[in-house]
Structures are given as structure tokens and as C-alpha cells.
Amino acid sequence: MLKLALKYGLMITIVVIVWVVITHFVFPLAPTSKLNGLAPVIFNLAAIVAIYLAIKARKSEIGELIFKDGIKTGLAVSLVYAISACIFFLILLLMVGPTLMSNEPMPADYPIWKVALTATVGMCFGSLSLGLVY
């Protein structure tokens, strides 16, 4: 199951990385752009598809899949995605600097560490809880 979790969890992270590179470096979006609302939709669709494919692959591995195995597989994929995406954003924040956080909804007068911590914790627990729902 670890191979499946790594394969499909990192697949979601690759979608996140591609989106961030395109919207921050290739075709930069303004913080007020309506296209910024597309990111959560793309990320969640990628998570749904990856979890579905991982559960389908797990079912073909072991034959009959019980509910508990499906939950474990989905959470494992979500955990890999949560950890790898958070690591990516932290590395990117260290490389690019606080301008990366300009799209975050917190006020600009908060310290950057507080904005980064809130965004990282939100992404980590959000992907785990939504992974449980998916």
C-alpha cells in the first residue's frame, strides 16, 4: 500500500506544483484575480481522481476490498499529498520569500511566519480531512 500512497499522493502534489509554477512564475496572477479561485477546485479534483485510482489499484491487488482498506488507502494517499505539498510550499517560501503568500486571505500586517504556519496547517489538515471524505 505504501507504493500506491506514494505514487498517487505525489501525483496530486505534482498537480499543485504545476499550478503554482504556472500561476506564479510563467503567467503570474494578481492576488485579486478570479482565477485564484480555480486552484482549490483543481487540487480537490486531482485528489478525488488520485484517491479513486489508488483504491481501484488496491482492489485489483488484493481482490476484494473491504471498507476499512479503502479508508486506509485514501488516508495514506492524502497523508503523502499533505506532507509533500507542505514541504514544497515551505521550500518555495524559503526560496521566493514572503511575496509568495500575497494570495493568502490573512491581513498583510500579520507576521509572515504566522501566515505561513496557518496556510501550512490548513493545507495539511484540510487535505487529510477531505481525503477521508473522498
Q: Find, among 9, 1, 107, 110, the residue nearest to 50 by Cα.
A: 9
Contact 131, 74 (CB under 8 A): yes
pLDDT in tens, 111-134: 777 777 777 777 777 777 776 676
pLDDT in tens, 31-55: 777 887 888 899 889 999 999 999 9
